[in-house]
């Protein structure tokens, strides 16, 4: 009985990563460290996915730091990719309104939640700001920084 109590106490102990970008706490139910970062003046959720049982996220944190060093340029590139891929679809969904421009689309989607997977791939989730009703926008980037895909979800 005492062994189980110690195991349970150890499992409940928080695992924290403190970095210059912020504080990330391991959520063992989802196998990710969750934290908030300053994303061009706004708070943004960042998730560092880990493989089951891992309590370190060095690759993920390094990738996030790499992004953060040129965040303004990176953000513009991501939004350019998303808008190039989804603007026509957005205007189909908004058929009762006038068409939106690329700039309006980019402005409306705002900032993403960022997930860095254990292999270094990146998933971005944007609120579609009503463009796609209550659906969100997801963009996938491979570990080399190349854009893979965009889609609407939810």
Residues 6+ apart with CB under 8 A from 102: 83, 84, 87
> Nearest 5 degrees, angle CA 34-CA 40-CA 46?
10
Task: Write down the pLDDT at residue 93.
Answer: 87
User: Which of 37-46, 48-57, 111-120, 140-149 has the least mean pLDDT?
Assistant: 48-57
* Domain regions of the chain by residue span: 2-153
pTM of this structure? 0.88
Distance between CA atoms of residues 54 and 58, nearest Å: 11
Task: Write down the pLDDT at residue 110.
Answer: 87
pLDDT tens-digit map of 55-94: 889 999 999 999 999 999 999 999 999 999 999 999 998 8
Q: Reduced to 3 states, what is the DSSP secondary structure of residue 20?
A: coil
Task: Write down the pLDDT at residue 7.
Answer: 62
Q: Is-contact 25 16, C-beta < 8 A? A: yes
Task: Write down the pLDDT at residue 2.
Answer: 72
Distance between CA atoms of residues 48 and 63, nearest Å: 10
């Amino acid at each position: 009985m005492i062994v189980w109590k110690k195991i349970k106490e150890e499992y409940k102990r928080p695992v924290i990563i403190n970095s210059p970008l912020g504080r990330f706490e391991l959520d063992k139910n989802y196998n990710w460290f969750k934290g908030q970062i300053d994303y061009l003046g706004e708070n943004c959720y960042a998730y560092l996915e880990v493989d089951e049982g891992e309590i370190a996220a060095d690759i993920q944190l390094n990738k996030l730091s790499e992004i953060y060093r040129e965040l303004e340029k990176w953000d513009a590139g991501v939004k350019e990719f998303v808008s190039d891929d989804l603007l026509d679809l957005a205007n189909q969904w908004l058929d009762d309104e006038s068409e939106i421009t690329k700039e309006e689309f980019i402005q409306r989607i705002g900032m993403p939640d960022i997930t860095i997977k254990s292999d270094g791939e990146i998933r971005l989730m944007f609120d579609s700001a009503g463009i796609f009703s209550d659906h969100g926008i997801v963009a996938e980037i491979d570990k080399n920084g190349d854009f893979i895909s965009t889609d609407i979800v939810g």
